[in-house]
Amino acid sequence: MSGRDLDSTHSQFLLSPPRQRHRSSCPILLLPLTALLAAVAVILLCNPLSNDDTVPVLSPAPSSRGAPAGVSEKSTSGMLGSAPAFPWTNNMLAFQRTAFHFQPEKNWMNDPDGPLFYKGWYHLFYQYNPASSVWGNIAWGHAVSRDLINWEHLSVAMMPDRWYDFNGVWSGSATILPDGRLVMLYTGSTHESVQVQNIAFPADPADPLLLHWVKSDEHNPVISPPEGIQFEDFRDPTTAWHSGEDSGTWLLAIGSKNDSGEHAGMALVYRTRDFVSYEPVAGVLHSVAGTGMWECVDLYPVHTEASFGLDTSAASAPAVRHVLKVSLDDDKHDYYGIGRYYAENNSWVPDDPDLDIGVGFRLDYGKYYAAKSFYDQNKRRRVVWGWSGESDSEQADMLKGWASVQTIPRTVLFDVETGSNLLLWPVEELDTLRFSGKNFTNLPLPAHTVKLLEFAETTQVF
């Protein structure tokens, strides 16, 4: 089913979403109470209370919209039931605001999108709800930094304002072409909730801040779900890479699943020469039974004998392996494998089958999901971002007025000592946050002893 054939009545692109029609099945007598509760909740959110004021939760958390929409998001409302709300105070809520991790000034955030270094600036785009602190109305937030630590918030980069992304501008990746041009591929959820792949370009490529973006109405959607793939199981295109010796052909992977084949998660590959016309590559890049939907697929090379990063299109070599990272929708964790990528037959093969996707290493063992990496050509390193959805309830998020943080960006290297796993470490710029230090040298440490060291108070970051 072609994305262009979804609905002949939508030949004109929607510049703003139409009004949603709602039907109420509640008795009319309940409406005034509902309106009163909503009004009180708005007053509580918009008018700060004193630090000693207790903030009760006046209404149940909103029902999750992520699962019906076919995308991951945080929702604890189903587990809360009728449990009494914790008596948060403004002081408690303010204390949760992070000092070092990236987060928007307010509202909901999830997956990192299209990170890149461009004309002297690091760019981070991210899944963002401009109107609320719960998932929905997903747009692309945007921030820039000189050092990956101190960030400037910019205006929203892309809103869900076309029929092909009417239900959300979802995750995507940036590709920088050899001549410096930049193309962004992202998943749009259409007005009929079909997941399609779209392209967007900077309105002014000379602008280092990339403030404005232009969606290709002429061509979008550029890729629609192929035959045999459910409309809600086809998302999150990767950064594109060169196809073997043919530098004019580009390849990219998209996550999916095959429920008719042992609930297998998989990555499908497409080729293009102009980022407008695409064709599927025969076969499946990789698939693992029982892993379910693969989201936020990432495929990139690592050097097995050196401590620097590699461009996504780096050629295969004896000292090069390829990392395949996926986010498993079933358990909300990020897994990766290390193996060989074979462009000639469109396959990725793990070095150790016992460490395959979903049964081997996780990228992080905390609350961490939807990781996205990029090659930083400025410092010749690979940097990865990850979304931490925290563990607050949606009720608490609504009271705070914000939800989620990004982890500290980390460099990615192959562990030459073990030869089997990755090493992730906070970017070196994090050291600029240190304002004092204390060195301990020549300390005798006999076996089976404990040596107490005197430190000032410290802050731990992840």
Coil/strand/helix, residue 30: helix
* Cα distance between residue 95 and residue 186, in whole Å: 35
Among 402, 256, 329, CA closest to 73: 329
Cβ distance 256 to 267 under 8 Å? yes
Handedness of CA 44, 45, 51, 57 (dihedral sign): positive
Tell me phi and psi for residue 241, to 5 degrees.
-135, 160
- Cα separations in angstroms, 395 against 38, 85, 104, 130, 188: 13, 8, 19, 18, 28
Q: Which residues contact 439 (CB under 8 A, 6 or more apart)?
A: none
Instruction: Render the burial of 148-176: b for 16+ CB within 10 Å, e for the rest.
Output: bbebeeeeebbbbebbbbbbbbbbbbbbb
- AA letter at 182: L
* Cα distance between residue 236 and residue 257, in whole Å: 13
* Cα distance between residue 462 and residue 155, in whole Å: 27
* Cα distance between residue 4 and residue 164, in whole Å: 9
- Which residue has tokens 């076309």? 162
> Which residue out of 7, 52, 111, 431 is catalytically annotated?
111
- Which residue has tokens 């025969």? 282
Q: Is 207 a catalytic residue?
A: no
- Cα separations in angstroms, 358 against 185, 287, 420: 26, 10, 16
For residue 54 the two structure tokens come to: 């207790």
For residue 315 the two structure tokens come to: 């050629």
* Cα distance between residue 348 and residue 341, in whole Å: 4
Among 446, 208, 195, 207, CA closest to 329: 195
- AA letter at 437: G
What amino acid positions are annotated as catalytic residues?
Answer: 111
